[in-house]
Chain A
Amino acid sequence: MTPRALDWGLRGYIALVFVFIFAPIVFSMIFSFNSDRFPTIPLGSFTTKWYEAIWNDPDVWKAVRTSLIVSGCTAILATALGFATAYTDYRYNFRFKSAYLALVLLPPTIPLIIMALAMLAWLSKIGASGQVWSIILAHTVLTAPFAMAVIRLRLNQMDASIEAAAWNLGASEWGAMRNVIVPYCKPAIISALCLTAAVSFDEFAIAWFVSGLNKTVPVMILEIVQGNIDPRVNALGTFVFLTSMTLVIIAQVVLMTRKGVKA
């Protein structure tokens, strides 16, 4: 094979990978505008009736509201926790630090279904299951490590003397935190907020187990699918996908802007 052919071959391969990943989503989007009830080709006519259907469904609104509250609160809690953990790692040395870090980064490696079951068992034991904040609690546990990882990367790039420079110029420990560490980490903090919100917004397994009657959007999608074939799923799926993608893209853009965000 000539180098040129190999080059084109590899490009084709990459294109195929992307097709494989995104085709189902694209099809789901296309079918969300299709008038036929069954997802078949040839397509029927263009319609927005499935969007109208979910728009007019109070249950969907309720689920969206729950999802937004859950992902918003999760993002704030998980980022605060992740920041604190990352700063502890940056600032202090102590015995068993590596064990501490391993423990902190553990939650995402636990199979979701095990985590969900454990959360349900634990939360019902302490009488805290079936509430909106049960989901928030469980999602915070799941997503805090992502926030920690993102913020830790940023702190590792920091000139170690700038915090001491702030103290030297009259800033107390809190003053340095507020005026130097947090502003320095701002891009990473915004990024962590978006990422944890996106993960929480998409998460199904844990939400399904601990949500009780407070359905989030992914839980609602499952319930629609379980009932019968209903193209509303495509419309709702498109909405979830676009929301998550927007958050992830914002996170990436903010992180890649090296200089950080000017206040």
Chain B
Amino acid sequence: MSASLVEIDGVVKRFGDFTAVERMDLTIDQGEFIAIMGPSGCGKTTTLRMLAGLEDPTEGTIRIGGETMNGVPPHKRDTPLVWQSLALFPFLNARENVEFGLKMRGFDAATRKRKALDWLERLDIGEFAERNVDTLSGGQRQRVALARSLVTEPKLLLLDEPLSALDAHLVIRMQSVLTKLQRELGITFVYVTHSQSEAFAMADRVVIMSKGNIAQTGTARDIYRTPANRFVAEFVGRNNILSGTVTAATAENTHIETPVGTFTVIPEGPAPAIGQAVSFVIAADLVNITDQPQNTENSLSCTLISEEFIGSMVTLFLEAADGTEFKVQVQERALGSLDLKSGNALHLGWSADSAHLLTGETP
């Protein structure tokens, strides 16, 4: 267990009548790559700006390296931020941009130049050092912004949707650059994004935020397989959510009656009470699909609506008798002889242990 670097303790942020962060408690470890993800307006960027000192919490404290940061102005913190707009200085060339932080810290010109060139070289853009930043491509500008933030060797790097302006293929490239850098430097990255693929691909731990609250914190796998509540289950997507009433409950099995049938779920925690209204999710990739009725504990028949083909994976969209929508994700080669004509009747089934009971409140 490594030492904690950032402690966000009961933080609330209000702007007039608007509450951007309602309540936030989060501890971030030294050397951790953490992604804060959520829809726009969930408070993720405000959280980042509070870490950088650009906003002060209305209530609660933020500690970085054990020191309380409330009221400490941004320039007295060592929390460089990679901006969504990159915010490069247009009147400086690439090298001068990278030197900026060193200059503000009083390094002499020779040291500044050496360190800046080292970093530009390290990020493979050494040859563009003397170029005006306006003449560089999106990916190159991205690297200048990264070098500019890392040149002062901070313990903590903040990133605010830094890849959102890049082309898809560049995003993948930059993801590997970022994860590699983070591992080599061993510093903490706090990465704010609305992109699930970016967060899941890079982060050790993902924080999902909704309306100024943390909806769930966990590894990408936790978030994906065991969403804590309906919000997370919906936000992650590719999940089927069913709601119903508990009709029978033992320690091992809970039977839930829904409009499309009665299903069995194995609760991870204490069993819910009979008569309680509950929801459970079944991930799209854990559903078996066949053209013959299935003889498992959880099965139903549906009508195929459409399919979405993305290379090796296919997502099928189906509808149950009462109109409930189902998503099923299968390997393209596993489709076999299924007759995928829209309107065809198909049969779905899943084992009780692949369903997950939603126990938490949606914030």
Contact = CB atoms under 8 A, between A and B. Distances in A.
Given A172-B75, A260-B91, A166 B134 contact: no
A112 to B, nearest CB: 37
Contacts of B83: 161, 165
Contacts of B101: 169-170
A169 B52 contact: no
B152 A168 contact: no
B74 A168 contact: yes
B100 A259 contact: no
B100 A169 contact: yes
B105 A168 contact: no
A184 interface: yes
A42 B100 CA distance: 67
B123 interface: no
Nearest to B77: A168
A113 interface: no
Interface string A2-14: 0000000000000
Nearest to A164: B54
A162 interface: yes
A172 B76 CA distance: 8
A175 B87 contact: no
Nearest to A171: B104
A260 B90 contact: yes
Given A159-B87, A162-B87, A170 B105 contact: yes
A167 B92 CA distance: 16
A232 interface: no
Contacts of B54: 164, 167-168
A110 B267 CA distance: 80
Contacts of B85: 159, 161
Query: For the complex, would chain B's binding face be called helix, strand, loop or mixed by DSSP majority?
Result: loop
B79 interface: yes
Given A161-B85, A179-B103, A167 B134 contact: no
A183 interface: yes
Contact of A183 (B53, B73, B84, B91): B91
Nearest to A167: B74
Interface string A144-162: 0000000000000001011
A164 to B, nearest CB: 6
A186 interface: yes
A259 to B, nearest CB: 7
A168 B81 contact: yes
Contacts of B88: 162
Interface residues of B, number: 28
A175 B104 contact: yes
A166 B83 CA distance: 12
Interface in A230-263: 259-260, 262-263
Contact of A171 (B75, B91, B92): B75
Contacts of A168: 52, 54, 74-75, 79-81
A170 B87 contact: no
A262 B130 CA distance: 12
Interface in B220-248: none
Given A161-B87, A170-B104, A259 B75 contact: no
Contact of B134 (A165, A183, A259): A259
Contacts of B84: 161
Contacts of B89: 162, 165-166, 180, 183-184
Contacts of A170: 75, 101, 104-105, 152
Nearest to A180: B89
Given A159-B85, A165-B87, A260-B91, A179 B104 contact: yes
B351 interface: no
B132 interface: yes
Contacts of A169: 75, 80, 100-101, 104, 148-149, 152
A82 B351 CA distance: 73
Nearest to B145: A165
B91 A186 contact: yes
A164 B103 CA distance: 16
A262 B152 CA distance: 25
A9 B75 CA distance: 62
A188 B148 CA distance: 27
A159 to B, nearest CB: 6
B363 to A, nearest CB: 29
B56 to A, nearest CB: 14
Contacts of B73: 167, 172
Given A170-B152, A175-B104, A164 B132 contact: no
Interface string B137-155: 0000000000011001000
Nearest to B74: A167
A167 B75 contact: yes
A166 B149 CA distance: 11
A164 B84 CA distance: 13
Given A170-B104, A170-B105, A179-B100, A164 B74 contact: yes
Interface in B97-138: 100-101, 103-105, 132, 134
Interface string B148-168: 110010000000000000000
15 contacts: A159-B85, A161-B84, A164-B87, A165-B81, A166-B89, A167-B54, A168-B52, A168-B79, A169-B148, A183-B91, A183-B92, A184-B90, A259-B90, A259-B132, A260-B91
Given A162-B89, A183-B92, A259-B91, 16 more contacts: A161-B87, A162-B87, A164-B74, A165-B81, A167-B73, A167-B74, A167-B75, A168-B75, A168-B80, A169-B104, A169-B152, A170-B101, A171-B75, A172-B73, A186-B91, A262-B91
Interface of A: 159, 161-162, 164-172, 175, 179-180, 183-184, 186, 259-260, 262-263
